[in-house]
C-alpha cells in the first residue's frame, strides 16, 4: 500500500516525527503536492484547514487528516476526510494504516470517521518513538502543558500533564547534527511538572549535548516567570542563542487573569529586565483584540509593547478564536485607532513584527506552487 504525506510547510516537524513512527510498521510516507493513491495523510491547523478542505473532499484515494484542527473539530473534518486522527499520531497513525491495509473499518481508538469515534485511553510516551529518522526535525523534548491559556490549543491536544524525552534519547538525536533545536511548550520546564522548574535536569541535558544548543527560542519558547538568574546563567553558559522568546500576551493583569495565563505583567517586566542585564535579547509575544479587552486594557498592552521594544524585540498578533480552546466561538474585538497607529509606527521603526490586522497573512500563506 502506498502511503503519501501532503507537503504543508507548517506541518514539517509532524512529518519528520510521523515518518519515523510509521517506518517500523513498514510504511514510508512519500511526500506529495496533491493527494495520490492509495492513502494521503494531512496535518492541518485551523488557519490552513479551509485551503485544503476541497482538495481532501475531492481526493480519489483514501484520506487521513490529523493535526490541531482535526483534533479540535473531528466531527466536521470527518465530514470530508475518510479518517480523522484525534490527538497524538505516533501510535494511532501506524495502527490505522495497518487496519486500512487489512481492509478493516478503521474503528480503532483515536480515529474518527463519520460513523464512529472511540477516544484513546492513554497518551504517547515520547521515548517510545523516535524524534525523527532520515528526515531531520526538531527534537520534541517535552509535551503537554499544565496551564490553560484561553487562546491555546496545546493542552487540549496533548493534555495537562507534562511528559519529557529522556536526556539520553534527546542527546542521541540532537548530537547527529551541528545544531540542537527543540520543540517544547516551555523549554525551561524540561524535566519538571511544568510549574516547578528543575534547573539541574536542564543542566544535565546541556552537558550531554555536543553541538550548538538553541534553547528557549522558536519552537521552544519559555514562560516569563521561568526567566530568572538560574535559567539565564544556563543559557549564557551552554547555549548558542543570544535571544530568549517568551509570551507576555497582555499589558493588563485583569486580562492575564481572565486568560488564566498564570503570570502577571510584573513577571514580564522582570523577565525583560533580567534578560537585558544578562546580555540576552528578549523576544516577547503579545496578542491584541481579546473579546473581553476594554479600551484601557488594550492601551495598557500598547504601553507595555512600547516598553519592551526599547530593549527587546516584540511580536504582536491579533487574537484568533481557535476551535477547541476556552475562547473558541468568540470574536476578536476591533483595535483602537491608537493601537493600529502605535503598532504601525513601531513596525516602521523596526521595533515590532507580526500581524495585528490580518493574522492569516502572517500565519498562513498558500504555497506559491499551489496558488491557482
Ligand atoms: S500558551 Fe503556552 S503556557 Fe499557555 S497553555 Fe499554551 S502552551 Fe501552555
Rounded to the nearest angstrom, the distance between the alpha carbon of 221 and the centre of ligand 1 is 10
- Kindly report, as residue ranges, where domains of CATH 3.40.50 are found in the chain: 3-112
Pick from 280, 285, 242: which is nearest to 263 by CA?
285
Residue 371 has pLDDT above 90, yes or no: no
Residue 372 has pLDDT above 50, yes or no: no
Give pLDDT tens digits for 217-234: 999 999 999 999 999 999
Topology (CATH) of 3-112: Rossmann fold (3.40.50)
Question: Which residue's alpha carbon is at the smallest distance from atom 3 of ligand 1?
Answer: 147
Residue 368 has pLDDT above 60, yes or no: no
Going across the sheet that includes 111-112, the strands are: 29-32, 3-6, 39-43, 62-66, 83-85, 111-112
Rounded to the nearest angstrom, the distance between the alpha carbon of 187 and the centre of ligand 1 is 12
Rg value, the chain, Cα: 21
Rounded to the nearest angstrom, the distance between the alpha carbon of 223 and the centre of ligand 1 is 8
Rounded to the nearest angstrom, the distance between the alpha carbon of 20 and the centre of ligand 1 is 26
Pick from 75, 72, 44, 245: which is nearest to 153 by CA?
72
Percent of the chain with pLDDT over 90: 93
Residue 359 has pLDDT above 70, yes or no: no
Question: Which residue's alpha carbon is at the smallest distance from atom 4 of ligand 1?
Answer: 149
CATH class of 126-370: alpha beta
Q: What is the mean pLDDT of residues 181-192?
A: 97
- Kindly report, as residue ranges, where domains of CATH 3.20.20.70 are found in the chain: 126-370
Ligand 1 atom showing the smallest separation from residue 148 Cα: 5
Rounded to the nearest angstrom, the distance between the alpha carbon of 48 and the centre of ligand 1 is 21
Element (H, E) at 247: strand 243-249
Ligand 1 atom showing the smallest separation from residue 261 Cα: 4
Alpha-carbon dihedral of residues 117, 16, 211, 221, nearest 10 degrees?
-50
Residue 167 has pLDDT above 90, yes or no: yes
Q: How far is CA 244 from CA 97, 216, 271, 284, in A?
A: 40, 5, 10, 8
Question: Which residue's alpha carbon is at the smallest distance from atom 2 of ligand 1?
Answer: 185
State the Cα–Cα distance between residues 27 and 251, nearest whole angstrom: 49
Helix (H, G, I), strand (E, B) or coil at 83: strand
Q: How far is CA 144 from CA 58, 154, 157, 185, 361, in A?
A: 34, 7, 8, 7, 28
State the Cα–Cα distance between residues 363 and 354, nearest whole angstrom: 9
Ligand 1 atom showing the smallest separation from residue 223 Cα: 3
The whole-number pLDDT of residue 358 equals: 67
User: What is the dihedral sign for C-alpha 216, 220, 221, 227?
Assistant: negative
Task: Provide the 10 A C-beta neighbour count for residue 1.
Answer: 12
Ligand 1 atom showing the smallest separation from residue 145 Cα: 8
Helix (H, G, I), strand (E, B) or coil at 204: helix
The whole-number pLDDT of residue 135 equals: 86
Residues with a CB atom less than 6 Å from ligand 1:
145, 147-149, 152, 154-155, 185, 223
Contact 124, 20 (CB under 8 A): no
Rounded to the nearest angstrom, the distance between the alpha carbon of 160 and the centre of ligand 1 is 10
pTM score of the predicted model: 0.93
Give pLDDT tens digits for 223-267: 999 999 999 999 999 999 999 999 999 999 999 999 999 999 999
Amino acid at each position: 500500500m502506498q502511503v503519501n504525506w501532503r507537503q504543508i510547510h507548517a506541518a514539517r516537524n509532524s512529518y519528520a516525527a510521523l515518518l519515523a513512527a510509521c517506518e517500523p510498521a513498514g510504511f514510508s510516507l512519500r511526500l506529495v503536492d496533491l493527494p495520490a493513491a492509495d492513502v494521503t495523510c494531512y496535518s492541518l491547523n485551523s488557519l490552513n484547514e479551509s485551503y485544503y478542505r476541497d482538495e481532501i473532499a475531492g481526493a480519489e484515494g483514501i484520506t487521513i487528516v490529523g493535526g490541531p484542527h482535526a483534533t479540535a473539530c473531528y466531527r466536521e473534518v470527518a465530514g470530508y476526510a475518510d479518517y480523522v486522527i484525534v490527538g497524538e499520531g505516533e501510535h494511532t497513525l501506524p495502527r490505522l494504516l495497518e487496519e486500512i491495509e487489512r481492509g478493516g473499518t478503521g474503528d480503532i481508538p483515536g480515529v474518527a470517521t463519520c460513523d464512529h469515534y472511540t477516544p484513546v485511553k492513554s497518551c504517547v510516551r515520547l521515548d517510545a518513538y523516535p524524534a525523527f529518522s532520515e528526515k531531520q526535525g526538531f527534537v520534541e523534548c517535552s509535551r503537554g502543558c499544565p496551564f490553560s491559556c484561553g487562546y491555546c490549543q496545546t493542552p487540549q491536544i496533548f493534555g495537562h500533564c507534562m511528559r519529557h524525552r529522556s536526556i539520553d534519547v534527546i542527546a542521541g538525536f540532537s548530537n547527529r547534527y551541528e545544531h540542537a533545536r527543540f520543540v517544547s511548550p516551555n523549554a525551561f520546564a524540561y524535566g519538571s511538572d511544568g510549574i516547578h522548574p528543575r534547573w539541574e535536569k536542564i543542566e544535565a541535558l546541556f552537558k550531554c549535548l555536543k553541538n550548538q544548543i538553541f534553547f528557549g527560542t522558536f519552537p521552544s519558547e519559555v514562560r516569563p516567570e521561568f526567566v530568572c538568574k538560574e535559567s539565564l546563567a544556563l543559557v549564557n553558559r551552554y547555549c548558542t542563542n543570544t535571544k530568549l522568546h517568551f509570551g507576555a500576551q497582555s499589558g493588563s493583569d485583569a486580562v492575564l487573569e481572565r486568560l488564566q495565563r498564570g503570570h502577571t505583567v510584573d513577571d514580564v517586566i522582570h523577565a525583560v529586565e533580567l534578560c537585558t542585564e544578562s546580555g540576552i535579547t528578549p523576544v516577547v509575544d503579545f496578542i491584541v483584540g481579546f473579546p473581553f479587552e476594554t479600551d484601557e486594557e488594550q492601551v495598557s498592552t500598547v504601553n507595555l509593547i512600547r516598553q519592551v521594544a526599547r530593549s527587546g524585540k516584540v511580536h504582536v498578533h491579533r487574537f484568533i478564536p481557535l476551535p477547541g480552546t476556552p475562547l473558541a466561538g468568540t470574536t476578536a474585538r476591533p483595535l483602537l485607532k491608537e493601537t493600529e497607529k502605535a503598532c504601525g509606527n513601531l513596525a516602521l521603526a523596526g521595533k515590532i513584527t507580526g500581524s495585528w490586522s490580518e493574522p492569516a497573512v502572517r500565519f498562513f500563506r498558500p504555497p506559491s506552487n499551489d496558488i491557482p
